[in-house]
């Protein structure tokens, strides 16, 4: 079997309403799918992290840089191909967009391997520790509204997410320390005293401001404080982790095993959040997971994107060993964006239906059982939303 083509599909549409987080507002939803075809008619699907113009730039890397390196090769040699591409691109970027692009290709190669073997990716990895995973719903995005209006909105939206049946919820931060503390208070009021909630800053604070917000989150019994400061600031993360009771989480902006080695050796995180569509794909994710568990740091994957990304993460969460183990181990959760996302809800011939599953199954979603990712994108849907890049 040989790889005959690698094609990027950039999908985009205008959102019903503008959304925001601490770094920007955005009005369009983007997804970057990767399709790897073979001479035996088996096709694999992957996804690259990165919206908007980042996705368009990554399309060029996928098709003009990575494709010539692997066309004609055996797609089952995925680890060989990973290292071939990484080694040849090492002089041009060990992090960021080259790794995002390689991630989509690698995920597609795992999808092909599963289809060839007739096994799901979780079975290829070594089996399923669980057949369903708890799901947390994130929402409470920023809007161009004053703080008092957002406080009211966050309270009602948090209550609505809880009512949907999710196992936990997550809010965005980014207005500034004092207003963010008010937003967090509103979320706690919305979900009540015994429901787990988390807060995501998308690295918008200085360490001093992060301490202010972190102490407010402690008082509200927030479960984790995500990306409080710049991802490069390992010392700041270590200080926050030592000085706050709330769990410090992060890692979505870290890449490959070497980047994660430094982050973990710094003892910077209570909870690791690797992004499989960015850090180097499933091949590299498994090495990062092993590093995290070697440092006794639990993993809750970062998930953003289409149904391809969701399916990949369901497979990985199924195969994740419990840490540290026991009769009642802490279960990893699937991150689920509750805002409008047609690329997650309508992309597949047979939709995953995560929200329906959550409502019916007490906050849980099942892991697809078919070969590879266990999903099949709808080509007509892709053609409808694909843009020229």
Asked: is 123-366 a CATH 3.40.50.720 domain? The reply is no
Report whether pLDDT(330) > 90. Answer: no
Structure tokens at 31: 């997804």
Query: Annotated catalytic residue: which of 9, 32, 203, 302?
Result: 302
Residue indicated by tokens 């960021």: 96
Spatial CA neighbour of 227 closest among 259, 281, 272: 272
Q: What is the pLDDT of residue 361?
A: 96
pLDDT tens digits, one per residue of 249-296 = 999 999 999 999 999 999 999 999 999 999 999 999 999 999 999 999
Q: What is the CATH number of domain 3-119?
A: 3.30.390.10
pLDDT tens digits, one per residue of 188-215 = 999 999 999 999 999 999 999 999 999 9
pLDDT tens digits, one per residue of 173-191 = 999 999 999 999 999 999 9
Strand-pair partners of 1: none
Q: What is the pLDDT of residue 14?
A: 98
Q: From CA 277, how far away is CA 108, in angstroms rounded?
A: 11
Q: What is the pLDDT of residue 49?
A: 98
Return all residues near 326 (Cβ < 8 A) that are at least 6 apart. none
Return all residues near 318 (Cβ < 8 A) that are at least 6 apart. 122, 128, 129, 130, 131, 133, 367
Helix, coil or strand: residue 249: strand
200 alpha carbon, distance to own chain's centre? 13
Neighbours of 357 (CB within 10 A): 17
Q: From CA 316, how far away is CA 125, in angstroms rounded?
A: 8
Question: Where in the chain are the domains?
Answer: 3-119, 123-366
Q: From CA 49, how far away is CA 303, in angstroms rounded?
A: 9
Tell me if residue 92 is catalytic.
Answer: no
Q: What is the pLDDT of residue 325?
A: 87
Whether the pTM exceeds 0.85: the reply is yes
């Amino acid at each position: 079997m040989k790889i005959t083509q690698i094609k990027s599909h950039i999908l985009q549409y205008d959102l019903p309403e503008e959304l925001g987080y601490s770094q920007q507002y955005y009005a369009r939803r983007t997804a970057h799918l990767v399709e790897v075809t073979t001479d035996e008619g088996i096709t694999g699907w992957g996804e690259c992290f990165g919206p908007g113009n980042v996705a368009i730039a990554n399309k060029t890397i996928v098709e003009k840089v990575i494709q010539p390196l692997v066309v004609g090769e055996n797609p089952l040699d995925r680890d060989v191909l990973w290292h071939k591409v990484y080694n040849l691109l090492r002089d041009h970027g060990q992090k960021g967009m080259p790794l995002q692009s390689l991630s989509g290709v690698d995920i597609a190669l795992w999808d092909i391997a599963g289809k060839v073997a007739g096994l799901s990716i979780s079975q290829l990895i070594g089996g399923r520790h669980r057949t369903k995973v708890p799901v947390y719903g994130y929402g409470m995005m920023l809007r161009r509204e004053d703080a008092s209006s957002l406080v009211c909105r966050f309270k009602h939206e948090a209550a609505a997410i809880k009512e949907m049946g999710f196992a936990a919820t997550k809010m965005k931060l980014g207005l500034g320390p004092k207003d963010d503390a008010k937003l967090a208070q509103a979320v706690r009021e919305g979900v009540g005293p015994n429901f787990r909630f988390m807060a995501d800053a998308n690295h918008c604070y200085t360490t001093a401001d992060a301490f202010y917000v972190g102490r407010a989150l402690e008082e509200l019994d927030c479960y984790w404080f995500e990306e409080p400061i710049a991802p490069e600031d390992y010392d700041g993360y270590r200080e926050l982790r030592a000085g706050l009771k709330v769990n410090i989480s992060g890692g979505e902006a870290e890449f490959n095993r070497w980047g994660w080695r430094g982050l973990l050796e710094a003892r910077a995180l209570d909870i690791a959040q690797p992004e499989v569509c960015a850090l180097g794909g499933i091949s590299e994710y498994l090495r990062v997971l092993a590093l995290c568990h070697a440092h006794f740091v639990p993993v809750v994957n970062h998930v953003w994107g289409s149904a391809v990304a969701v399916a990949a993460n369901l497979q990985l969460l199924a195969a994740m060993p419990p840490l540290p183990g026991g009769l009642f181990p802490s279960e990893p959760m699937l991150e689920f964006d509750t805002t409008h996302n047609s690329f997650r809800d309508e992309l597949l011939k047979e939709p995953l239906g995560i929200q329906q599953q959550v409502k019916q199954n007490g906050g849980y979603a099942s892991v697809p059982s078919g070969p590879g990712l266990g999903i099949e994108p709808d080509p007509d849907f892709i053609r409808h939303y694909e843009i020229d890049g």
